[in-house]
Amino acid sequence: MTDRLPPGSTIGILGGGQLGRMLSMAAARLGYRCHVYEPGPAPAADVAAERTRAPYEDADALAAFAEACDLVTFEFENVPAAALDDLAARVPLYPCRSALETSQDRLVEKSFLRDLGLATARFAPVTEAADLGAALAETGTPAILKTRRFGYDGKGQARVADIAEARAALPAFGGAPLIAEETVAFSSEISVIAARGRTGEVAAYDPGENVHEDGILATTTIPANIPNRLRMDAVLIASRILTALDYVGVMGVELFVTADGLLVNEIAPRVHNSGHWTQAGCAVDQFEQHIRAIAGWPLGDGTRHADVTMENLVGDAVHRAPDLAAEPGVQIHLYGKSEARPGRKMGHVNRVKPLSTA
């Protein structure tokens, strides 16, 4: 399919969280309807035209969803492979299944990046205790053990000082396949949000600098405090990854800034929390950019017209929203979630300043 998706068409979104909510709003602006597929509570359903509430294993519900949609995308990368196969056989799916597969497994992801010639932390697979000696010989110590699949926001990770700690940490993973990684001495963390269209064009936003608290993204600041040559490197790295995956849509690429240059930490095959600043900093934000890419529109060029700091409102911090709204230059986004549980992303704010010369 190379023609532009006609107005009034229905875009299916797998996953119904805040990313799906903001994608649905952007799609509506471009004249599309969204149909959200989400097994649990779905903040996206409040703003979408249709909603299916069913497990990803429900073949009949998936078939009906595919039938109701003109193309399907996702806001959540841990959709089971079988569900994607079912859908891809019935309806165009963007980004493609293989991009999702690459990012679902940290070992496959890191191997893909290394094979592309990109720098990553040293890594090695760990399937059982007997692998730990060789794995830590590869990574050095201290090291980080991570589950290969289903990790997010720093969950499913253990930092270990030596092999004894690594052995002691293993039972908590319950036998899940792991990857051991070198602990990178980074000076900062940045991410690039980039998009690739159906005809192969790539557009990237300026890298943002990310600060995490308790493994959860706390703030993204644009411009990142890095030399221009690293800004350029980051964008080129993202572009290579998207092109190698024959990717269509928006991707988040997370990088560590080190004394030896940039290392790729991970890729997220979807719109990304560290790209929320684009809502206030760019004419075409990452959500519209994703819809443009998958629907066959020209991409926005990623130009930035402001400096922005994005701050996540996590848990009870959401109650600060009315006070924050009283500050000048603050854009508020709330996700419509009823319960402000600790660690739950409830909203974010974008603080806008005039463009600096950086």
Binding site for ligand AMP (CB under 6 A): 121, 144, 151, 154, 181-184, 189, 212, 215, 254, 265-266
With CB atoms as reference, the residue minimizing the distance to ligand AMP is 184
Nearer Cβ to ligand AMP (266/288): 266
CA dist 79 and 12 (Å) reads 14
Q: How far is the CB of 215 from ligand AMP (least distance, A)?
A: 6
Nearer Cβ to ligand AMP (62/144): 144
- Do you find a cis peptide bond into 322, omega within 30 degrees of 0? no
Quote the tokens at residue 17: 């969280």
CA 5, 9, 12, 16 torsion-angle sign: positive
Interacting residues of 176 by C-beta distance below 8 A, sequence separation 6+: 147, 148, 149, 156
Nearer Cβ to ligand AMP (141/183): 183
Q: How far is the CB of 357 from ligand AMP (least distance, A)?
A: 29
Quote the tokens at residue 103: 């990012």
Q: Do the beta carbons of residue 201 and residue 160 sit within 8 Å?
A: no
Q: How far is the CB of 254 from ligand AMP (least distance, A)?
A: 6
CA dist 222 and 206 (Å) reads 7
Nearer Cβ to ligand AMP (82/211): 211
Nearer Cβ to ligand AMP (52/120): 120
CA dist 151 and 78 (Å) reads 9
Amino acid at 27: A
The radius of gyration of the chain from alpha carbons, rounded to an integer in Å, stands at 20
Nearer Cβ to ligand AMP (133/215): 215
Nearer Cβ to ligand AMP (181/206): 181
Nearer Cβ to ligand AMP (82/161): 161
CA dist 357 and 95 (Å) reads 35
Nearer Cβ to ligand AMP (47/184): 184
Q: How far is the CB of 189 from ligand AMP (least distance, A)?
A: 5
Which H or E run includes 288? Answer: helix 286-295
Q: How far is the CB of 139 from ligand AMP (least distance, A)?
A: 8
Q: How far is the CB of 76 from ligand AMP (least distance, A)?
A: 15
Q: How far is the CB of 265 from ligand AMP (least distance, A)?
A: 5
CA dist 165 and 183 (Å) reads 15
Q: How far is the CB of 335 from ligand AMP (least distance, A)?
A: 21
**CA trace torsion 1, 23, 263, 159 (10° rounding):** -130
Q: How far is the CB of 182 from ligand AMP (least distance, A)?
A: 6
Interacting residues of 84 by C-beta distance below 8 A, sequence separation 6+: 93, 97, 100
CA dist 149 and 152 (Å) reads 9
CA dist 280 and 228 (Å) reads 22
Neighbouring CB atoms inside 10 A of 103's CB total 22
